[in-house]
Structure 1
Amino acid sequence: MTTVRSKSLLAAALCGALAVTGCGSGVGSSSQEQIKLLVFGAPEELAAYRTLIDAYEAARPGERVQLVEASDRKDLLARLATSVAGGAPPDVFLMNYRFYGQFAAKGVVEPLDGRIAASDAVDPADYYPVAMDAFKWHDQQLCLPQNVSSLVVYYNRTLFARYGVPEPKPGWTWNDLVGTATAMTRDGRGLVIKGTEAEGAARLPAVHGLGVEPSIIRLAPLVWSNGGEIVDDPDRPTRLALDSPAAREALKSLVDLRLAYGVVPSDAEVEAEDDESRFLNGRLAMLMTSRRATTNFRTITGFDWDVAPLPVYQRPVGVLHSDAYCMTRGSRNKDAAWRFMEYAMSADGQKIIAATGRTVPSHIETSRSPAFLDPNLPPRNSQIFLDAIPTVRALPTVSTWPEIEDLSYGILENAMHRGDRLDDVIRELDAKSRPVFARGENG
């Protein structure tokens, strides 16, 4: 691996034009080197990027980075689109591979191959290929991935010990998950809830066994593990393909968590308190989500928690969660933007973000270091994330994928919480996804 060496983000007007609040580091600087970095995240995540920026500015006197904070993913996408249309884009933005295709297709993102080839600090061989490949568009490297996360099952070890339920172990199956979630779903007296609401099992439980959202990105690894596919052609998809027996079985298993077993909160309960907050408050035994929740969960003081791998149908398969630093083609200070990207992607930069709990570093050496695997910081079993990398698959890179995720979420939500017939759900997903895929451009 190469030795990483140190090298010596929207315009300020964008903050005003878009009524940006929380524009952090670098505000008021008159430096010609100031760049703007657009990100979104929970307060703990945003604090991680402020830590990175502070370290960069300390290591590179004269360089300035302004953090532009979006409230959520939709806000980030809207701000980026608006700023590009207005001619004042950020210099760098952080985005998941599932959503950057719409900007890649419109030529918003600056290709990086030339800069990478000339760099002493960024060597593609130092990074996990599955994350690098997710940000290639028409064989060009458009963005540099900071993380290579996957879905895991977070679980409340204190609750498991209280109720004498064995903790999840590597190699556990979907049936094991259902049995464990059932055993952990408790009423206000600590009793196991039996039956379903339809059978009159009545009381709202004090603890739900599992939290998992009814979304494509949660369903995908279950379908793959069962031998099915999410789309008809992973390279050039034209529709969602959940009509195979393997995919249909996985979908039924997901919705049955609510309909048959009642181990996940109802839609009304999720509306009142999202799954992550419910886990934080000790009222959710397990939660299926990615590494980004770790930063928030490290604020927990009332109980012990850890992570377990996804349950298996036929074989272990994970779904890639990866965000990358992307440079806008319209950046007015590309050299300064690249210097920041080099630092953020270096071992030093990735250790800073990894230490906050936010990422599974894409930099291979850093991912195996104490910065990520520190046994004194939860989760103890962070190795689970690294063990999953060889099994991880990426979802399709298509410019209209965000629309596909959005339309499918409502349909899957109705299936899980309203009990819509699976055959109708599958037909509706197929019919509604086809025209959206047809409008899309593949990477």
Structure 2
Amino acid sequence: MEGLVRVGRIALAAAATVLLTAACTPDGDAPPTPTVTRTTGPISLTVGVYGPASVISAYTTIASRFNAAHPSVSVTIKPYTDHDTALADVVATKGTTSQPDVFLADSDDLPTLMDQKANQSVDGMLTNQNVDFGDGFQRIALEAFSDDNALQCMPVDVSPMVVYYNANLVHLSQLRPPGRKVPSADDGWRFDDFVTAAQQASKGTVKGVYVAPTLEQIAPFVFSGNGSLVDDTDKPTTLTLTDGSSEKALQRLLELVRDPSLTNTAAQIQRRDAISRFKAGKLAMILGYRSLTPELRTQEGLRFDVMPIPRVSRSATTVDVSGLCVRSQAPHRTTAAQFIAYVVGDKSMETLARTGYVTPSSTVAIHSDAFLQADEDPSSAQIFNTQVRFARTLPSGEAWQQVEQEADQQLSALFYDPAIDPLDDRLQLIDDTSKITWASITASPSASPSASPSASPSASTSSSGAPSGSPSAGASSP
């Protein structure tokens, strides 16, 4: 079991107040039996969170402040090493006192939490705490955590996927002919600009760009090309990569990522992952969320900034959302709601934002100096706010996870196989594989699909390994 971090002060132990009636009666009756009034001890609330040490520390600080403001409550932070460990514990301990009363979860976890009846909706209890669901929070984050006509968890962190670029290798002012408007973080850039940036940065052992061969990282380009990833985001039955607009967008992306003069091979990425190459100045552009920022800041001499996902036809991206949930049998629902409301308040949101990992769901905190951190890279941090309005969510749940695993292997073949023509046949195979997987899991939710087309027409090693949309973090040898 994970250790507990005790925070704040504990209210005074229960005290007994004894009221004695000393009135004497003429006939000498003994005084009545004393009346004893007992007050209970502090309400205990366990909050499970995961993430880097600075994020755990931020939640600990927030809990300490909450305890100081609420002497009758004792909030205890239960830290987990990572998301998967946290989710496994929440599910394994559901219905017991070992399950955290409040816990951090990713929006992708929602189907699992609801299937396991591990959480309860929070909109009613948070409304009672005067939480502003109107313009106070990013709309897409609220939608990501909504199901069964209710808000299931309260979003805390909502980051769109963006392009990180090495400012010493990519020069925005040189991407277009003289006299034409220079691309900027606020205005964005076209896919052609993105290709030009990769070409200009690719010199010697330096490569221009890396896009992981995963559904998560190709999705923004598909959406930007007016395509779709699935037939129905809420209830998908198949991938739709063969749809006209989707295929056209992928064709443009593949022309870029299959050019060995502009991007690393699968073998090179396996030897030294994309983030390590970016930090070392050997890779000019990668995709990622806000959570990648602190790691890049640790690299001495690295100057980097961020740009929106380049437009194929229109602005588009994907989004990573996490938030706080309340366990289904929480004994102190009101106290849990009070704490969550406190966390999503401006002061607490700014505390989380200062870590550099968190993009506040609060539309106030996202504009704060605590988040923008103008004295540190990236200088264009405002796009983590402006790009949210162009973000689209991806499906979630057990079937989607299986579809992702299979499709990522097939996409790796598309990215790295020597020949991929005819492309339509390759994409059709990916769509067909997903259709069989969804049908199999839908028909038998507890069974893994056993009958599906081969992962790819030829053997290929996936080089994605990209948790939460960031490039692979594998071996770092040259």
TM-score grouping bracket, smaller chain normalisation: 0.7 to 0.9
Q: Aligned letter for 2:169?
A: L
- 1:78 is matched with 88
Residues 1:185 and 2:202 are matched in the alignment: yes
How far apart in 2 are the matches of 1:414 and 1:33?
55
> What SS does structure 2 have at the residue aligned with 1:126?
coil
Residues 1:38 and 2:84 are matched in the alignment: no
Residue 324 (structure 1) shift: 1.3
- 1:101 is matched with 111
Deviations 1:113-166 (CA, angstroms, capped at 9, x unpaired) = 2202211345444112111111111211101111231111111113346x9878
Q: 1:135 aligns with which of 130, 141, 145?
A: 145
Q: Radius of gyration: which is bigger?
A: 2
The 1:64/1:77 distance shift into structure 2, 3 A limit, reads closer
How far apart in 1 are the matches of 2:233 and 2:278?
34
The 1:437/1:249 distance shift into structure 2, 3 A limit, reads same
Q: In terms of mean alpha carbon deviation, does 410-419 or 284-293 score higher?
A: 410-419
Deviations 1:264-314 (CA, angstroms, capped at 9, x unpaired) = 333333333332333233332111111111232233331221111110011
Report the TM-score, using the length of structure 1 for normalisation. 0.80
Q: In terms of mean alpha carbon deviation, does 125-134 or 329-338 score higher?
A: 329-338
Q: In terms of mean alpha carbon deviation, does 137-146 or 177-186 score higher?
A: 177-186
Residue 112 (structure 1) shift: 0.9
**Is the Cα–Cα contact under 8 Å of residues 165 and 184 in structure 1 kept in the other structure?**
no
**Is the Cα–Cα contact under 8 Å of residues 104 and 322 in structure 2 kept in the other structure?**
yes
Q: Aligned letter for 2:435?
A: R
- 1:267 is matched with 266
The 1:401/1:376 distance shift into structure 2, 3 A limit, reads same
The 1:297/1:67 distance shift into structure 2, 3 A limit, reads farther
- 1:279 is matched with 278
Report the TM-score, using the length of structure 2 for normalisation. 0.75
**Is the Cα–Cα contact under 8 Å of residues 212 and 289 in structure 1 kept in the other structure?**
no
More helix by share: 1
Deviations 1:95-125 (CA, angstroms, capped at 9, x unpaired) = 2222322222332221112202211345444
**Is the Cα–Cα contact under 8 Å of residues 9 and 74 in structure 2 kept in the other structure?**
no
> What SS does structure 2 have at the residue aligned with 1:322?
strand
Can you give the 5+ residue segments of structure 1 that lack an aligned partner in the other structure? 1-14, 188-204
How far apart in 2 are the matches of 1:268 and 1:46?
36
Q: Aligned letter for 1:79?
A: D
Can you give the 5+ residue segments of structure 2 that lack an aligned partner in the other structure? 12-40, 177-181, 444-478
How far apart in 2 are the matches of 1:253 and 1:213?
15
Residues 1:114 and 2:115 are matched in the alignment: no
How far apart in 1 are the matches of 2:97 and 2:406?
30
Q: Which runs of 4+ in 1 moved over 6 A?
A: 27-31, 163-167
Residue 60 (structure 1) shift: 4.4
Residue 434 (structure 1) shift: 2.0
Residue 335 (structure 1) shift: 3.9
Matches within 5 A, 1:369-384: 369-384=368-383
Residue 45 (structure 1) shift: 4.3
How far apart in 1 are the matches of 2:67 and 2:299?
31
**Is the Cα–Cα contact under 8 Å of residues 24 and 68 in structure 1 kept in the other structure?**
yes
Q: Aligned letter for 1:248?
A: E
Matches within 5 A, 1:40-79: 40-61=50-71, 62-71=73-82, 73-79=83-89
Q: 2:193 aligns with which of 156, 176, 179?
A: 176
**Number of residues paired by the alignment?**
403
Matches within 5 A, 1:352-391: 352-391=351-390
Q: Aligned letter for 1:320?
A: V
- 2:450 is matched with none
The 1:221/1:184 distance shift into structure 2, 3 A limit, reads same
- 1:151 is matched with 161
> What SS does structure 2 have at the residue aligned with 1:432?
helix
- 2:428 is matched with 427
Deviations 1:387-422 (CA, angstroms, capped at 9, x unpaired) = 212212222355633333233222222322335734
Residue 55 (structure 1) shift: 4.4
The 1:42/1:440 distance shift into structure 2, 3 A limit, reads farther
**Is the Cα–Cα contact under 8 Å of residues 60 and 77 in structure 2 kept in the other structure?**
no
Q: In terms of mean alpha carbon deviation, does 372-381 or 318-327 score higher?
A: 372-381
**Is the Cα–Cα contact under 8 Å of residues 89 and 330 in structure 1 kept in the other structure?**
no
The 1:426/1:47 distance shift into structure 2, 3 A limit, reads farther
Q: Aligned letter for 1:429?
A: I
